[in-house]
Amino acid sequence: MLLTTSRVFDGHQLGGPATLHIEGDRVAALVPGEVGDDAAGAPPASERGETPVELPAGWLVAPGFVDVHCHGGGGASFSDDADGIVQVLATHRAAGTTSSMASTVTESVDDLCDRARTLAPFAASGELLGMHLEGPWLSPDHRGAHDPALLQTPQVAAFDRIQAAAGGAVRMVTLAPELEGGLDLVRHLAARGIVAAVGHCDATHEVATQAFDAGATAATHLFNAMRGIHHREPGPVTAALEDERVCIELIADGVHLAAPILSGAMRIAGDRAVLVTDAMAAAGQPDGDYRLGGLAVRVTDGVARLVEGGAIAGSTLTMAEAVRHCIEQAGVEPQAVLRAATSAPASMVGAADVGRLAPGTWADAVVLDETWTVRGVLRRGQWIRPLG
């Protein structure tokens, strides 16, 4: 396939025009300029077995979105059976997310092992980037929509059990480093190349810094479900923002973060800013009653909250909606937003062949029009959402 576009984002820079060359399921080249059939005396594309596709003026091609923190969508969750997992993936892929991590919620270690065994084949086949354990090693004081009865102190042995059940698919763990054993688990994860993320925590600035020095490289949905900023105790937020080693997750749905906070955090974080959905089953679905793990959730006007207590319970967001919100409501430059939805999350979890349009990467792409609306989605060189 030859995909010619007036605007392109390659994972780093916004430019164009360009022609994206796809061979099979991989990107063969991204060539600046509009490449015609007669370039360098080449035979027509049809004779070369290539299908030329020219996008309307003003449309943009970007790498498929990468979401490293997602619990569900389409009425299902990653805690469901295989059919439910397929439904979650289909929902988010239609909205431009071609690479997803399956985020779990707090459960017993035995149940998390069962969950890992169900998700492992999807990771092994490349349908998932891997697993993200969000819980059970979280602060009771900042648990958000996690069952307090199931929270535990961090234990290396418990993690190893889950990782064994997952066949090595766990790629990221969110934990509260101030808990007993927290820093030990951070070191254990870092030594194995697994992303340790500080989140759902009551850590002081000092303890958060100790966690980053121990090898933690991410902050889970910054500002949300963690100790806030105080002028005499800045807490984990400022520790994460000022540390160039730390990737910054942000939920851009207009509910979790006010626009000035979102734009300011993205400006400070720069290339380290990572957009995530933290989506639950109601993403892509109408208002109503849902579940997040074992907890009842009610969605009203698109906002998910626990029935008991009213805490925000994830989001109903897609990455396409997050991108549009950042640009149109928070006023962030499109190049920075697209990077935070593609190459930045891919780099955060060490996924080198997604989030970029470069020779050898997967042929995953999203086509956006001038209003940042998804008009087509390619995954592994195939249109999973045809142009329209």
Q: Which residues form the catalytic set?
A: 278
- 27-39 burial, b for 16+ CB within 10 Å, e for fewer? bbebeeeebeeee
**Four-point Cα dihedral 182, 250, 287, 327, nearest 10:** 180
Contacts of 39 (CB under 8 A, 6+ apart): none
Nearest to 199 by CA among 243, 166, 248, 161: 248
- CA dist 121 → 77, 87, 117, 189 (Å): 16, 16, 8, 22
Sheet with 26-32, edge to edge strand ranges: 26-32, 18-23, 2-5, 52-54
Cis status, amide bond into 345, omega within 30 of 0: no
What does the alpha-carbon distance between residue 11 and residue 22 come to, in Å, rounded to a whole number? 16
Q: Which two tokens stand for residue 207?
A: 């303890």
What is the pairing mode between strands 97-103 and 65-70? parallel
DSSP symbol at 65: E
Report d(CA 198, CA 255) in Å as an integer: 21
DSSP designation for 79: T
> Alpha carbon of 388 to those of 67, 160, 295, 375: distances in Å?
24, 46, 39, 5
For 36-62, give the DSSP string.
-TTGGGPPPTTTTT--EEEPPTT-EEE
Tell me the residue length of the chain.
388
Q: Within 13 Å, how many C-alpha atoms sit on residue 122's CB side?
A: 27
Give the span between the Cα atoms of 262 and 254, in whole angstroms.
Answer: 9
